[in-house]
Structure 1
Amino acid sequence: MHSHTPTPAASLAGFDPRSGSLIERALFNHRHIVLLLCALVTLLLGWQATHLRLAASFEKTIPATHPYIQNYLAHQKDLQGLGNAVRIAVANPKGDLYDAQYLDTLRQLSDEVFLLPGVSRMQMKSLWTPSTRWVGVTEEGLEGGPVIPDGYDGGPESLQKLRANIARSGEIGQLVALDGRSSVIFVPLQAQDAEGRPLDYAALADKLEALRAKYEPRGVEIHITGFAKLVGDLIEGVRDVLGFFALAVAIATAMVYGYTRCVRSTVLVVAASLTAVVWQLGLLPALGFALDPYSILVPFLVFAIGMSHGAQKMNGIMQDIGRGMHRLVAARFTFRRLFLAGLTALLADAVGFAVLLLIDIQAIRELAIAASLGVGVLIFTNLILLPILLSFTGVSPKAAQRSLRDEAAALAASGDASENSGRFKPQAGLWAVLDRFTQRRWATGTLVVSALLGAAGFALSTQLKIGDLDPGAPELRADSRYNRDVAYLNQAYGAGSDVLAIMVKTPEGGCSALETLNKVDALEWELRQLPGVDSTNSLALLNRRVLTGLNEGNPKWYEFLPNQDMLNTVTAGAPRGLYNDACSLLVLSTFLKDHKADTLAGVVRHVEAFAAANDTADVKFLLAAGSAGIEAATNIVVHESWTRMLLLVYAAVVALCFITFRSWRAVVVAVLPLVLTSFLAEALMVALGLGVKVATLPVIALGVGIGVDYALYILSVTLTELRQGASLSQAYHRALLFTGKVVMLTGITLAIGVITWVGSPIKFQADMGLLLAFMFLWNMLGALVLLPALAHFLLKPAALAPLGSAAATTAASKTVPGGRAATAT
């Protein structure tokens, strides 16, 4: 039976401002104060956001408390260049390096690199640095000296001496290319510059590019690799990310306007979400944080979550105004109905981000803090500020009436406008199709298909690898300048820049002991047999080479001589990179073909097994230094954290859903679609060739938090209607009309927004765009299709507490003009 629809003025006159919860009364009865406070906070944090730095740190991307990293940090001073370093290959495209003009260019470039901020100058090496030496055998015994001969003048005789010195230096394949057409400037970096400030990787990368632009016109080709250059390229690409962010905002604005045809409500929804981003970006520098390339997606995720919640609030207010309510009453009723569901969803998001704090990698922890801050401010901007703003502005009357046309037609066609509780037939179209999933036949088929998809997704997800799966930098395109430089160095030098160093700790003065070096020699031989290992270098290997040299280069003498006096003699003249000054640490460097996850895992397993069998009280084989060693430790931490993180995220979501719904059946209905999406998203990562690493680890966890929003909004309305005596078909239909339309709108809008990222020059962002679009759509489909199918079997009216029971006290209902309960938990 239809009741008379009151005028907005009558609606406001009949409304008791003392009704509602304490929070609602405190906010809406003091609307002007709330707006003033929000405006002041926005101005303050907007000013703070102008001080936000885009930066990165090598130290923040490594697990500082892992035993391997602890070993590396404990001996860092004795490990020359086995941490964060840049390699600059200078090639002569018209000849070889034995060219006076090339060598002069190399000298000038080496001198300029030496003076760059953050360079560890004592450890830097090139053909022109005094630390680059040769060792040879003469009639008088072992001799040596700097590779660049004394009195070098660029003439034929000097170049001939240089050729001989390089041949005797052992640097071919290290500093000198195998074909002799290029040489490397090896540049270890410090965590801080000379003034004690953190190294600015973006500035350093810009300086390296400036040197490339300066010297390449002089007839050389320059190839640069290393963490600093990679981060510099990522930061450069991040400037393009801002364009994609703007495009996503434009798409979201257009889609919301297309749905509402109301300028003021569209502007307010987008503005509230952007305000949340401003607050988040302003809080970061206030707390001493910076934004790095791996957390650049966080502001967009905050915007996306904000749009989802904001559109729900706007839609509820628009419908109530269409029914004749005053805009203030509509805002308060919408706040009353949806605040708890929205708060639960945002808390689930925040917990999903906060769980990342358990991962012992500073970059991920800072991402977790930044994302949690962003979700936290959404409680104020989109759950509180937006309804208050709409209570002042209202919405376009035409838009308000338009929002109810589909609903009115559906209710009239189905007879659901009455208090009937039986089966009904919604109008033809999408609503009719979705309603079928509440029926046994379609629900059974949906569960079977979902189970098959889940099983296939889980089976494929077991192939998900930890770490990088491709050579070079998978964050960048395969044809990027950086990855072309990596390919050049790998080809020209016979080994990549991926070095895994094993530290052999001995008593002071014991690094040359026969027993110790014999074990190092044995391990070195075993490592060279492993797939993925190109070569090795150690004091034991130097002994073999020296013995061969002392016997006219006869390969029969390529042997490890069990003679302590001989070992002591060779050690005395050995480069310090092979052992430290106190002769208490040996370094066994393993040069790998790549840093793929399987390659690193194979070497680590072998070394650990060898150490377990050969360690003594005095001699310990320790992992790991070098770029590949550090990455191996990172992979181990990520692998240990992956499953634990997902379990904790789901535990938090389950707990929050149970607190909200007070029904284990409702929790299962809400969570199972998320589990399916997780399996399928991991399977998609396998198909895309993505490994789980620092850059990708947070994304699946975030997908769980974001995805639960959709389920919460639809399930909260469905449960309230069921507790009021409606059938599942009626309850689900009303949920679709009230919140389901917006779930579809936001799911499709956000998926379209992020799918544009496939055009990004940063492959990491392109891959994340595909992954996020997939999760937005599948979470939406799960909420619209799998949720009602599960509800058919689990949400039986007899199993649900009535509306007035303690289990349902969170369901705040309010009968509105039109004769139906427009409520949600």
Structure 2
Amino acid sequence: MASYSSRSDMPTISDLRDFDRSSGSWIERFIFNNRTVIMLLCLIATVVLAVYASRLQVNANFERMIPVGNPYIQNYLQYKKELPGLGNSIRIVVENKSGDIYDPAYLETLRKINDALYLVPGVDRSWMKSLWMPIVRWKEITEEGLNGGAVMPSDYNGSPESIAKLRANIARAGITGSLVASDMKSTMIVTPLLDTNPATGKPLSYSEFSQALEEKVRSFESPHVAVHIVGFGKLAGDLIEGLRQVLGFFAASVVIAGLFVFLYTRCIRSTLLLMTVSIAGVIWLLGLMQLAGYELDPYSTLVPFLIFAIGLSHGAQKMNGILQDIGRGTHKYVAARYTFRRLFMAGLTALLTNVVGFAVLAIIDIPVIRDLAITTSMGISVLIFTKLILIPVTLSYIGVSPGAARRAVQERDDKATGKVGGIKGRLWRALDRLTERRYAAGAVAGAVLLTAVSVVVMRDLKIGDLDAGAPELRPTSRYNLDNAYITSHYDLSSDQFVVIMKTEDEGCRLYPVLQKLDGLSQALRATPGVQTTASLANMVPFVTSSLFEGNGKWMTISRNQDIINTAVSSALVAVPDLTNMKCSVTPLVAYLADHKADTLERVLKVTEQYAATHDVAAVKPQAAVAPGSAPEQSAPPVQFLLAAGSAGIEAATNIEVSRGIVTMYLAVYGATALLCLLTFRSVMATVVAMIPLLMTTVICKALMVWLGIGLKVATLPVIAVGVGVGVDYALYLLSVQLLMQRRGETLAVAYRRSLDFTGKVVALVGLTMAAGVITWAWSPIKFQADMGILLAFMFLWNMLGALILIPALSHFLLNPKRTGGKHVNGAADAAPAGAPRPMARSA
């Protein structure tokens, strides 16, 4: 027998023989008439993809962290081989804790560390610098001219005499503050890194490289010697190591989610099913990533949890529908089909919106962000099968416990009749009253005020890092403590902003070129945040003076080309990396006090303005000379190209984030609005759904300002998450509300029905996901802790924004009483795409 329930838009069918299996859409019939095959295929896919997921590698790649399409980065990549040590490099400081560097025992330990590092795969040995490497040389002005040699005496044997020679050579080399600490208690080893492991030919594994540093270099630490290591290779290794610890937080998130779901359903079988299928979705994603050739890097740790959380959201909605239908006496198979019929299109639209929301991140021209966009979109596409199809099909077999079903219906009836007491009852009744003018106006006014305040605050949001050291890690991490030690004991920081001067072959020897290079050096040294500069233009005056017995009057760039040629040749003997072999690519290194966003912005502005004024693309014709003035030398071609060095690369990354963020907003909100419009077929309903999402972005930016978090590669995906996940709540709530309104119900009744059917699950999902990610706040990786805090806020706000603002906005935009008595969109009998319609009673 089949009968219509007053609380259901579909007939209650307790006997499966009364159900018309040919009813519903073609996709529903195809899925449920082939349940066994579909479950078998999903099981096989899970097992196969689990095997591939176990082979997924965890690694990081330096060039994938930078915007390779940016013109500044293209300049760096083009001349990378001619700029050794000005990109991906590490710095190791060996400290003597019980004396100074002139202790023979310390120098022997330094030699052993130097030799051990020399043999680590991935080290560019030809440009490795330390006291024990012959590339580090001293220079001296004598009556005979410029003399020089390796800083470490060739006959060093630890005797007082050889120690004295070393002391003199260090003084003559001028490396105090750079390779030797200002307090003479430590020295530095600097080495560029190769992109590939020469032993295997494969990309350098930063996890293995970092581990090798710990085992072969850090192992020399003792009560008398300390080792401090900084650089991208070590930072990436520490992040990967932290990623393994983060897996524990992911496990905690799963446990918390399972607990919340069980407290809601009080049904073990459906809770286990929901958690199992959610984890299966993550397995599918990781397996597909391995098959597609992707790696899991520290910045994509967000992806598996997002797939789990989004899958949990959709799965909970399916489970809620089946609970209520079975509680009214509907057969579990019929209940599964009813729920599929009601929520498939809303769920599909929400998932497609999620896909689009993450896919537009590919607009940001940074490979790691592009990979995150693709892999997340891939994972959400997987959810179409695991959540929208597999959960209803599986529940059609196992159903839910009768007690859980009865409780679900009883709670719904109690809410409808106002019998729910306590805080829960008052909260539910308060939400109902938001459809009334007085309370709706108050909610909208509060939202406007909050948004206005957030708009003012968000104007102070910076693009880039706001802290010194490595903001990705905790200030108390070993890496940041090492960085703090190096910064406080060395005059020159590791934050290098490098400008590349490009000329014709041998062009760096010309006076006009050196003069322009020196002019840029002076402009940068006058810029706040710049410690000093180093370039060929700084070295030539010193060498020129040495050619004339150290006379201070010659401490300049001579206009005599023969003198310049001699000075440049002598300078390159002492410091060979001042320019390339052809003297056509000459770096200017600006040492910055830090890599904060403001510092990079100032240096970038000065350099860009100088380049725009002094670049010469071709030889200019000789201008007329005024009487009494000296003839101007011809202007040879010269270009000042940005940028290399760690700070230069970060500045280019900030530019790319700044350029892409607006385009990303337009794309993600435009696509979301379009999909909502296709689903609701109502402009006003789309506006109601979009306003809370827009508020989320604004308030999140203000929160980032309050928390001291900059907008950068690590935090950029959070913005897309807020839109992608937040729209799910609006889609589920509005789909039911609009359906009821289009059938003639008042706004108050329609919203109450929406709350009855999906509202509690919206609250459940919001709280569950927020509780899961807030555990990240204790992660050793600071940027992940920041993401956890921001995501917890966004999940909660999206949930509250949907429950509070949708009824309030609906009062003004979707209320038939305020639209001339017409129903939503002027179509009383229309329904959203894929919305449920009354079934013909089956025999």
Q: Given the two structures, how large is their TM-score scaled by the length of structure 2?
A: 0.93
**Equivalent position of 1:274 in the other structure:** 279
2:75 equivalent to 1:94 = no
Q: Deviations over 1:419-457 (max 9, x none)?
A: xxxxxxx99522211011101011111111111111111
Q: Would you say 1:488 and 2:523 are equivalent positions?
A: no
Q: How do 1:67-78 and structure 2 match up within 5 A? A: 67-78=71-82
Structure 1 residue 555: Cα displacement: 5.8
- Equivalent of residue 444 in structure 2, options 443, 447, 450: 447
- Supply the distance in 1 between the matched residues of 2:591 and 2:766 (Cα, whole angstroms): 47
Q: Which amino acid aligns with 1:812?
A: P
From 552, 558, 567, give the equivalent of 1:570: 567
Q: How much has 1:458 moved relative to structure 2?
A: 1.5
2:659 maps to a residue whose letter is: E
Aligned match of 1:823: none
Q: Deviations over 1:14-63 (max 9, x none)?
A: 11000000110000011000001100100110111010011110010011
Deviation at 1:2, TM superposition (A): 6.7
2:28 to 8, 24, 27: 24
Cα-to-partner distance string for 1:727-777 (whole Å, 9 max, x where unaligned) = 111010111010000000110111111111111111111111110000000
Give the counterpart letter for 2:557 in structure 1: F
Candidates 149, 152, 158, aligned match of 1:154: 158
* Cα pair distance change 1:710/1:807, threshold 3 Å: closer
Measure the CA separation in 2 of the matches of 1:440 and 1:9.
Answer: 40
Deviation, 1:211, is 2.8
| Residue in structure 1 matching 2:357, options 352, 355, 362 | 352
What residue is the counterpart of 1:643 in the other structure? 662
The change in CA–CA distance for 1:805 and 1:4 in structure 2 (over 3 A counts) is: closer
User: What is the CA–CA distance in structure 1 between the aligned matches of 2:833 and 2:589, rounded to whole Å?
Assistant: 66
From 304, 312, 322, the counterpart of 2:309: 304
Task: State the alpha-carbon separation in 2 of the partners of residues 218 and 402 from structure 1.
Answer: 66
Distance in structure 2 (CA, Å) of the matches to 1:248 and 1:603 = 43
Measured in 2, the distance between the counterparts of 1:210 and 1:453 equals: 53
Q: Deviations over 1:198-239 (max 9, x none)?
A: 000001101111134421127311100001111111111111
- Residue identity in the other structure for 2:489: A
Could you say which residue in structure 1 is the equivalent of 2:373? 368
Per the alignment, residue 145 of structure 2 pairs with 141
1:502 equivalent in structure 2: 499
113, 120, 125: which one pairs with 2:129? Answer: 125
Aligned counterparts, 1:173-188, within 5 A: 173-188=177-192
Matched, 1:437 2:434: yes
2:581 paired residue number: 581
- Give the Å deviation of 1:585: 1.5
Q: Secondary structure at the match of 1:134?
A: strand
The residue aligned with 1:420 is: none
**SS of structure 1 residue aligned to 2:123:** coil
Give the whole-Å Cα distance in 2 for the aligned partners of 1:43 and 1:12. 33
Matched residue SS, 2:674: helix
Letter in structure 2 aligned against 1:109: I
Equivalent-residue separation in structure 1 for 2:811 and 2:367 (angstroms)? 45
Give per-residue Cα distances to partners, 1:269-303, cap 9 Å, x unaligned: 11111110000011011000010000011100110
Match of 2:836 among 812, 820, 823: 812
Q: Give the Cα separation in 1 of the matches to 2:613 and 2:146.
A: 36
Report the equivalent of 2:717: 698
CA shift for structure 1 position 565: 2.2
Are residues 1:168 and 2:172 paired? yes
Matches of 2:7 and 2:60, distance apart in 1: 63
Percent identical among aligned pairs is 54
Pick which of 749-758 and 328-337 moved more: 749-758
Partner Cα separation in structure 1 for residue 348 and residue 519 of structure 2: 61
Deviation of 1:8 after TM superposition, in Å, equals 8.3
Q: Write the distance in 1 (CA, Å) between the matches of 2:425 and 2:304.
A: 40
How far apart in 2 are the matches of 1:190 and 1:554? Answer: 43
Matched residues in 2 for 1:436 and 1:263: separation?
35
- Could you say which residue in structure 1 is the equivalent of 2:299? 294
Report what 1:821 is aligned to. Answer: none
Which residue pairs with 1:224 in the alignment? 229
> Residue 410 of structure 1: CA displacement?
2.9
Q: In the alignment, which residue of structure 1 is the partner of 2:607?
A: 607
Q: Distance in 1 between matches of 2:299 and 2:832?
A: 42
Specify the SS of the correspondent of 1:53: coil
Q: Aligned partners of 1:99, 1:302: CA distance in 2, in Å?
A: 57
Q: Distance in 1 between matches of 2:697 and 2:212?
A: 42
CA contact (8 A) 2:13 2:19 kept: no
Distance 2:5 2:525 in 1: 85
Structure 1 CA distance for aligned equivalents of residues 306 and 195 of structure 2:
31
> Which residue identity does 2:539 align to in structure 1?
L
What SS does the aligned partner of 2:509 have?
coil
What does residue 17 of structure 2 align with?
13
Counterpart of 1:776, as a letter, is F
In structure 2, C-alpha distance between the alignment counterparts of 1:399 and 1:816, rounded to whole Å:
29
What letter matches 2:194 in structure 1? Q
Structure 2: 5+ residue stretches without partners? 618-636, 817-821
Relative to structure 1, is the Cα distance of residues 479 and 808 closer, same or farther in structure 2, using a 3 angstrom cutoff? Answer: closer
1:305-454 aligned within 5 A? 305-413=310-418, 428-454=425-451
Assess if the C-alpha contact under 8 Å between 2:14 and 2:329 holds in 1.
Answer: no
Q: Which residue pairs with 1:524 in the alignment?
A: 521
Task: Provide Cα deviations, 1:626-664, integer angstroms capped at 9, x if missing partner.
Answer: 111111111100110111111110001001000101100
Q: What is the alpha-carbon root mean square deviation over aligned residues?
A: 2.0
Match of 1:729 in 2: 748
State the alpha-carbon separation in 1 of the partners of residues 58 and 437 from structure 2. Answer: 54
How far, CA to CA, are the matches of 2:442 and 2:185 in structure 1?
Answer: 66
Measured at CA, do residues 615 and 80 of structure 1 come closer, stay the same or move farther in structure 2, by a change above 3 Å? same
What secondary structure sits across from 2:589 in the alignment? strand
What is the rounded CA distance, in whole Å, between the counterparts of 1:681 and 1:112 in structure 2?
47
Structure 1 unaligned spans of 5+: 416-425, 818-825
- SS of 1:122's partner is helix
Q: Which residue does 1:190 correspond to in 2?
A: 194
1:91-117, Cα deviation, whole Å (9 max, x unpaired): 111111112111111111111111111
2:741 and 2:12 map into 1 onto residues whose CA distance is 30
Taking structure 1 as the reference length, the TM-score comes to 0.95
**2:734 corresponds to 1:715:** yes
Give me the whole-angstrom Cα distance separating, in 1, the residues matched to 2:282 and 2:687: 33
The answer to whether the 8 A contact 1:414-1:427 is kept is no
- Assess if the C-alpha contact under 8 Å between 1:344 and 1:660 holds in 2: yes
1:778 counterpart residue number: 797
**In the TM superposition, what are the counterparts of 1:465-480 in structure 2 within 5 Å?**
465-480=462-477
1:789 alignment partner in structure 2: 808
CA distance in 1, matches of 2:14, 2:712: 59
Does the residue aligned with 1:116 lie in a helix, a strand or coil? coil
State the match for 2:622 in structure 1. none
Asked if 2 retains the 8 angstrom alpha-carbon contact of 1:331 and 1:391, the reply is: yes
Contact in 1 for aligned 2:53/2:286 (Cα 8 Å): yes
Matched residue, 1:421? none
* Contact kept? 1:12, 1:326, Cα under 8 Å: yes
**Structure 2 partner of 1:541:** 538
Deviation at 1:557, TM superposition (A): 5.3
- Match for 1:456: what amino acid? V
Q: 1:187: how far off?
A: 1.4
Distance 2:434 2:118 in 1: 69
**Rounded Cα–Cα distance in structure 1 between residues aligned with 2:133 and 2:578:** 18
What SS does structure 2 have at the residue aligned with 1:278?
A: helix
Q: Number of matched residues?
A: 807
* Residues 12 and 328, structure 2, Cα contact 8 Å, conserved in 1: no
Structure 1 residues 68 and 801, CA, compared in 2 at 3 Å: closer, same or farther?
Answer: closer
CA contact (8 A) 2:315 2:387 kept: yes
Is 1:110 the equivalent of 2:107? no
**TM-fit CA distance, 1:811:** 2.4
Check whether the contact 2:774–2:788 (CA below 8 A) recurs between aligned residues.
Answer: yes
Aligned-pair CA distance for 1:378: 0.7
User: Do the aligned partners of 1:105 and 1:218 also contact (CA within 8 Å) in 2?
Assistant: no
Which of the numbers 662, 676, 685 marks the counterpart of 2:681? Answer: 662
Code of the residue aligned with 1:592 in structure 2: it is L
Conserved? CA contact 1:724–1:802, under 8 Å: no
